[in-house]
A and B are shown apart, each in its own frame.
Chain A
Amino acid sequence: GQNIDQPTEMTATEGAIVQINCTYQTSGFNGLFWYQQHAGEAPTFLSYNVLDGLEEKGRFSSFLSRSKGYSYLLLKELQMKDSASYLCAVMDSNYQLIWGAGTKLIIKP
């Protein structure tokens, strides 16, 4: 079966750094996405990784290791507005997105 695992909830402090992990087992791999979703809103695109390594985009970075079936999203200089759910999704061999359950990130002052 196909499976995406990520922690249910994480708490971090404003100004700090947090790493959200995602492990996956899918039938085929055509890339991994990270989305941010604020409560009551639709997801918004953060990053896409298809090759191993780190992709940096401002305060957010995403890392992929295909051999380990592992990715992480790194958020630096946390701000209160970063409080949201972070969804990991893998595109399988049929180019369908398999979604993780999401990690709720709580930022404390």
Chain B
Amino acid sequence: GAVVSQHPSWVICKSGTSVKIECRSLDFQATTMFWYRQFPKQSLMLMATSNEGSKATYEQGVEKDKFLINHASLTLSTLTVTSAHPEDSSFYICSARTSGDRFSYEQYFGPGTRLTVT
């Protein structure tokens, strides 16, 4: 149980275009989803936290107009990188958690999406 999928697993796009990444919880309802970015040889950097049906909370330094997050349902969140630039090339990972008991604070990670902007 507790499977999170991401699509696409990798994408190459041209500078100036937009890319949408989907994150789905396949067998549980995710009240909260997290979006992370990870540059090579660095740790995970939390970009934003989203709760179903409400606006995402962005971490300091993350442009909310550039990284659009939509958590429309309890099983789906999307991250859209608008007007992508080469410096946005990174490994984007989503995670999801439910609410409730102690063990629900565990975050279940998707497999990640590698974005390359040329």
Contact = CB atoms under 8 A, between A and B. Distances in A.
B66 to A, nearest CB: 22
Chain B at the A interface: mostly helix, strand, loop or mixed? mixed
Contacts of A31: 102, 105
A48 B106 contact: yes
Contacts of A96: 46, 49
B109 interface: yes
Interface string A53-91: 000000000000000000000000000000000010001
Sorting the interface of chain A by its residue count into under 10, 10 to 19, 20 to 34 or 35 or more gives 20 to 34
Contact of A43 (B42, B44, B46): B44
Interface residues of B, number: 19
Interface in B50-84: none
Given A42-B93, A96-B49, A101 B42 contact: yes
B111 A42 contact: yes
Interface of B: 34, 42-44, 46, 49, 91, 93, 102-103, 105-112, 114
